[in-house]
Amino acid sequence: MVGVAGFEPATTRTPSVCATRLRHTPTQAATIYLCSWQDHTRVRMTVRMTRTNRIAIVIVAIAAMVTIRAALPHVSAAETAAETAKLEVAGGKIEVVFTPSDYKLSREAILAWIERSADAVSTYYGRFPVHRYRITIFAAPDRHGVMSGTTWGFGGAHSRIILGVDTRQSELDNDWVMTHEMVHLAFPSVTRDHHWIEEGIATYVEPIARAEIGNYPVSQVWQDLVVGLPKGMPTKDDAGLDHTPTWGRTYWGGAMFCLLADVGIRRSTHNRYGLADALRGILAAGEISKLNGRSSARSKLPTRQSECR
Q: Which pLDDT value is given to residue 18?
A: 37
**Co-location of 175 and 198 in the same domain:** no
For residue 306, being part of any structural domain is answered with no
Q: Which pLDDT value is given to residue 74?
A: 45
Which of 124, 159, 184 delimits the end of a domain? 184
**Co-location of 96 and 158 in the same domain:** yes
- Say if residue 233's pLDDT is above 70: yes
**Co-location of 284 and 233 in the same domain:** yes
Report yes or no: 183 and 205 within 8 Å, Cβ to Cβ: yes
Q: Which pLDDT value is given to residue 133?
A: 96
Q: Which pLDDT value is given to residue 155?
A: 80
Q: Which pLDDT value is given to residue 189?
A: 84
Burial class (CB in 10 A: 0-12, 13-18, 19+), 62: middle
Q: Which pLDDT value is given to residue 306?
A: 40
- Say if residue 20's pLDDT is above 70: no
Longest dimension (CA), the chain: 67
Q: What is the mean pLDDT of residues 52-61?
A: 57
Q: Which pLDDT value is given to residue 82?
A: 74
120-171 per-position pLDDT tens digit: 999 999 999 999 999 999 999 999 999 999 998 878 899 999 999 999 999 9
For residue 308, being part of any structural domain is answered with no
For residue 177, being part of any structural domain is answered with yes
Q: Which pLDDT value is given to residue 14?
A: 33
For residue 302, being part of any structural domain is answered with no
185-211 per-position pLDDT tens digit: 999 888 899 999 999 999 999 999 999
Strands 92-98 and 83-89: antiparallel
What is the number of domains present in the chain? 3
**Co-location of 162 and 102 in the same domain:** yes
- Say if residue 220's pLDDT is above 80: yes
Distance, in Å, from the CA atom of 275 to the CA atom of 157, rounded to the nearest integer, reads: 24
Between 7 and 219, name the one with better pLDDT: 219
For residue 297, being part of any structural domain is answered with no
Helices within 49-176 (DSSP H only)? 54-70, 77-80, 107-125, 169-173
Q: Which pLDDT value is given to residue 40?
A: 42
**Co-location of 147 and 93 in the same domain:** yes
**Co-location of 101 and 61 in the same domain:** no
**Co-location of 129 and 170 in the same domain:** yes
The pLDDT mean for the chain works out to 78
Domain containing 283 equals: 192-291
**Co-location of 9 and 27 in the same domain:** yes
Between 53 and 134, name the one with better pLDDT: 134
**Co-location of 57 and 136 in the same domain:** no
- Say if residue 253's pLDDT is above 90: yes
For residue 299, being part of any structural domain is answered with no
- Say if residue 30's pLDDT is above 70: no
Q: In this structure, what CATH number is given to the domain that contains residue 98?
A: 3.30.2010
**Co-location of 34 and 119 in the same domain:** no
For residue 307, being part of any structural domain is answered with no
- Say if residue 41's pLDDT is above 50: no
Q: List the single range of 214-218, 266-270, 296-300 with lowest mean pLDDT.
A: 296-300
**Co-location of 53 and 122 in the same domain:** no
In one-letter notation, the amino acid at residue 294 is R
For residue 59, being part of any structural domain is answered with yes
**Co-location of 175 and 111 in the same domain:** yes
- The percent of residues in the chain predicted with pLDDT above 70, rounded, is 67
- Say if residue 4's pLDDT is above 90: no
Q: What is the mean pLDDT of residues 222-251?
A: 94
Choose among 219, 205, 183: nearest CA to 259.
Answer: 205
Q: Which pLDDT value is given to residue 53?
A: 58
Quote the DSSP letter at residue 99: P
- Say if residue 180's pLDDT is above 60: yes
86-131 per-position pLDDT tens digit: 999 988 999 999 998 889 999 999 999 999 999 999 999 999 999 9
Q: Which pLDDT value is given to residue 153?
A: 84
Q: Which pLDDT value is given to residue 307?
A: 45
